[in-house]
Each structure stands twice: as structure tokens, then as C-alpha cells.
Chains A and B, each alone.
Chain A
């Protein structure tokens, strides 16, 4: 077997796993069923690490794998390329798949169908990372989209069907806009493969700048919808909040990041990359701030977390855009891109942990409202789930997202704020960090021991919730003792898998914080290898390993003082939130009317804005 084939194993093994699981459904005996689906799981989640490890070794030694699938001539066939960037993106997905899959064992669903779709998704996450063909990118995006629509509705809530349908319609329409972009680019360059396009764009740029810019803007805005930046984030919160907990974790952790880093490959083919970078950096800053503001106004615990995903993707996109704006091949650009990737990875881990731990708590309590749910630990214990592990992993996730040392977010968030030079952007990101602190103080209260005043206070403030809290069955002070929910009322089974998944996630949070500098160095090197390979692409600047940024240390006085200040300001914001007036305003924001047409309007406003922005320079 050639080493090139190892690249395809990354896609083939998860798909073979999915096939095994499907074959398992046909078998009569339960034992055979179990054996076959275990083989499938092993192929999809375990065996796939072997080719990845081998490829990582070869890529690190400076090799890249590229060519045409099936040996067709390069103009006709589908091009692929496996390099440092692909390695990073695939690793991100595979690391997060394990805790999510473990947790999904305790969902009350049809496991075989779930697993099958989950493995198809893993396979296509690898496929999208190595594709070097704009039409194949479309196919991969559509398949990833379809798997996530189906995974969302595994929670069987009517809200989930609605959220998934909204996501489906807006994303399918945006994908057709992407196809229009492909049409325009194909018209100008006569090719679909990245390398050919890069070469021909440079020749065609003078004659056909208008067409190129429009085609690029159409494709970029369609992919931006998947990344969920402002103004096209509207579909995300409902979809992520209504999905089953492990699916929320994988959607927030992986599926909004992968398109962003895949977009990087596409954008560097075009001379307009710096402008796109500037636009994305600005959008990222606004996304970070707006996401946190909306998160503060939410009362649903999982919706709050989903808005935090919007906010954190803002940090990632801000660093991503700044990197393109300074030139992704320059030392500063590589450092920013590595920081962006690290935050994507760490966010995937800690947001996964948060979704799983908070999800477990709200499932056990049967109440998702952060204002009325108190004493979640007792509900957990009452339902046979070890509360300590859930609380500890929630703590790990919350400390990571609020960027406290030594947890993973501390390194990546400080790195982004340190590397982004633009004062406006730094300001927005700092404000967003402060809001994150306040928001997690609010969310942490669900684990507080029962106190009668909180809930009573709130029901005084917000009239429309008062009726609910009077007859709310789960309000702690009303129920004499904590009853465990009936077996069929909770949507999860209290098995050990929950605890293993949570513990694994919490350990990864800590590991990320401790190994931060090492991971930063490794991902910078891999990105530099990707850029070095792409010398025929119009990547600005070329970096030598010696010229790369060393990983800064954030364990010095000034950063620690800044962190303390951020905590202090966060507490102040949290205090301000307790005022009636502020709560009323936030309640208005949370209950704002969100229409379906608004999603489309935002998308087209965004696409038009991008075209105008690109033409104005």
C-alpha cells in the first residue's frame, strides 16, 4: 500500500464503520449485532488514529500528499491535498468525537442510526479537510450539513425539528449561492482545482476582476454562514441548544470551526485575501461582543451556552481575519493563525464539556431555566449521577472559557488578545471576555445550594415568568424533598459513560492549558509547512522556522493582574445585571421577535456588504 492511500483511510475507515453499524441492524441475534457495531465503532473512532499518526509523522518531516483522486487527468479529476492544515483540522474533529460519542451511549435513542450518521460525519470532516476542489468542497459541506440536521433532531423535541428545518432551509439556500460562486469562478478560470485556480486567477485578475470578486464573495459568504459570524449567526443558537447534549458539543466544537479553516485554503488563492481578512476580523470582534450580550440575556441554560459559542467563534474569526490581514505567510500571520486554531481546539474541548455537564444537570432537574434552577447537584444525585464529577467538569469548562489560569482558555484567549494589534479589535475582545465572566457567574448559580430568595426575586422582576414560577413543579423551595424523575422523563440514562466523557473533557481542558506553548509551537510549524508547500499559491510572505514567533508565557505579573481586573469587572457587570431595569432590558432582548425571513435578509445583507467592501478598495 502506498502512503498516499493512508490519506483516504482517514475517510474510508469512518465510512466503513458506518457501514458495519448498518449491517449490524440487519442481524437477528443481539450478540452478533453488538459485535458488528463494536467493530464499526472501533474502525470509525479508534483505528483511524493509526493512519493519522503515520501521516502526522510524514507531514512533520516535510512531506505533503496531493494529487487527483482515481488518477484522472488533473483538469477533470478531483484534487486532494493533505498537509499541515488538513492534519490540524482532522485532529480537531477526532479529538472531540471521542467524548461526544462516549456520552451519546447514555442517550435514549436508536444508537445504531445515531452511530451511523455520526461516523459519516467524522468521515466527511476528514474529507472536507483534504479537498482541493471547489465543487468537492460543496459536496462535503452539504453532507456535513445533512448529517448535522439529522443529528439535531435526535432529541425528538418539536423545537429541535423547527430549529433543524430553519438551519436546513437557510443553509441549503446559501449552498446554492455558493454554487453560483463556483459557476462564476469556473467561467473565469475554467477549472475547479485550487492549484489551477490560483495560477489562472493571477492571469485573469486584470481582465476579470469584477467577476472574480463577485464569485469569491458569493462563496465566502455561503461558507461564513456555516461558521456563524455576525450577521449570519441567527440559525446557530436554536439548533445547538435543541440538539441532544453530545450533538451540541460536536456541533459547537467542530462543525462551526472546520468550514472556517477550510475557507482559509480557498481564500489564499485570491489576491483579495487581505481585504477578506480585514472584513472577517471586524465581523469577528462584533460577533464576540454581540454573542456575549445575547448570552447574558438568555434564561435557557443551553441557549446561553449556544450564544457563547457565537461569542467564542468571534474570537477565533477575529484572529483568523487578522492573520490574513497581515499576510498569513508572515511570522505574525502564522502566529495569529496558530492562535486562532488553538482557540478553536480549546473552545471545542471546553464548550463540549460545558454542554455535556450543563446538559446533564438540566436533564436531571427537568428544568432548563437558569433563574429558577438551583441545587442541580441534588437533582443529579437524586437521579443516580455522581454530582461531584459533573460539578468538577463544569468548573473546568467554566474556568477555561472565562480564561483563568492554568486552564486552556487562559492561554489561547490571552494569546489572541496579545497578538491582535488593532486597538479597536482588542477592545471588543476584552469587553467580550468581561461579559463571559459575568455570564458564567450567572450560569454557575444552577449548582448553588437551594436558596429561596433568588427565584422569588426574579419572579417579582419579570411579570411573565411569575405565573410559571408559581406552579413550577421543580422550584426547589416548593418541593419538600428532591424526587428523582421517573425513568422515562429524563432524556438520558445515568450510566458511567457520562462520567467518563466528562472526566476526559475536563482532563483535556487542563492539558490544553499546561501544554499550550507546546501546542502553539506545533501548530505554527504545521501551518508554516502548509504555507511553504503552497508557494505557488498567492500566499503573502514566506516564513523560515527561525523567524517564527516563540510562544509567549502568560504567567507574568501584568497578565495576571489583567486577569484579576477582568474578574473584578466581570463581577461588576454581574452586579449590574441584578438591577430590575437591566433585567427588563435583557428580557426584551431575549424575547425579541426573530423571524425566519430575517435569517435570509441577514445572509443577503452580509453577502452584499462583502461585495461592496471588496469593490471599495
Chain B
């Protein structure tokens, strides 16, 4: 069940990135996709145990610590990507006064001619 919800989240994000014309919505969509993947890993890691993986004696039945550790890195990367893409979006907005990616492309092509 969880997997299907995450798949839906992933696909919504993908649709936004691929189809939506607004750059900001594309960036949000990328965030959705990323969160879907992060949750997928975390749920997978949590599936095999119950307790937090802390180095202490007597801890048994721990979750798989690796996926969580990986996802910390993935989240950091996702923050960087979001910041950078919003920066680019800002620059483009300052230049063209719009977030519509197709309109910006058309105007750029027009300028080239």
C-alpha cells in the first residue's frame, strides 16, 4: 500500500516537472519526486526491525541503518538542487518577467534570429 502511495507521489512530481509550464511548479515537482524516493528508502529500511540503530549494548531488533544514512545525503543534495534551480528561476524572471518556460524559450529563440 505504502509503495503505491509513494508511486503516486512520484508520478505526480514527475508530471509536474515534465509537463507543467511554470518553473516554480517544476521545482516543487522535483521536490515531490525526491520525497517519494526518500520515503521509499526509509520505509524499506524500517521494515526489518523496530528499534533505532544506536550504538549501545543490548540493542536488538534494529532497523537497517544504511537507507536512513543514505537518505540524509540525498536530502542534502535535494536542498542544493532546489536552491540552485530557484536561483536560476529568479534570474530568468528578472530577465523575462515570467515563469512560463515555453514562453521564455520562444522569446529566446526569437532573440537568436
Interface of A with B (CB < 8 Å)?
A: 76, 135, 138-139, 142, 146, 149-150, 153, 158-159, 161-162, 164-165, 168-169, 172-173, 176, 179-180, 183, 186-187, 192, 300, 464-465, 468, 591, 594-597, 600-601
Contact = CB atoms under 8 A, between A and B. Distances in A.
Contacts of B113: 464-465, 468
21 contacts: A135-B73, A139-B73, A149-B84, A153-B88, A153-B91, A158-B104, A158-B108, A165-B85, A168-B81, A168-B85, A169-B17, A173-B33, A176-B10, A179-B41, A179-B74, A180-B40, A183-B40, A192-B70, A595-B102, A596-B101, A597-B19
Contacts of A142: 77, 81
A173 B34 CA distance: 8
B59 interface: no
Given A183-B41, A595-B102, 7 more contacts: A146-B84, A158-B91, A158-B104, A161-B95, A169-B26, A192-B66, A300-B112
Contact of A162 (B40, B77, B92): B92
Interface of B: 10, 14, 17-19, 23, 26-27, 30, 33-34, 37, 40-41, 44, 65-67, 70, 73-74, 77, 80-81, 84-85, 88-89, 91-92, 95-96, 101-102, 104-105, 108-109, 111-113
B83 to A, nearest CB: 10
B6 to A, nearest CB: 10
Contacts of A595: 102, 105
Contacts of A165: 23, 85, 88-89, 92
Given A142-B81, A161-B95, A162-B108, A172 B30 contact: yes
A146 B81 contact: yes
B33 A596 contact: no
A165 B67 CA distance: 29
Contacts of A169: 17, 26-27, 30, 85
A203 B67 CA distance: 23
B75 to A, nearest CB: 12
Nearest to A179: B37
A145 B31 CA distance: 17
A153 B95 CA distance: 14
A139 B101 contact: no
B24 to A, nearest CB: 12
B81 A76 contact: no
A600 B81 contact: no
Contact of A176 (B33, B91, B96, B105): B33
A594 B105 CA distance: 9
Contacts of B67: 186
A186 B64 CA distance: 12
A465 B113 CA distance: 7
A518 B17 CA distance: 48
B102 A164 contact: no
Contacts of B70: 135, 192
A361 to B, nearest CB: 18
B41 A173 contact: no
Contacts of A76: 65-66
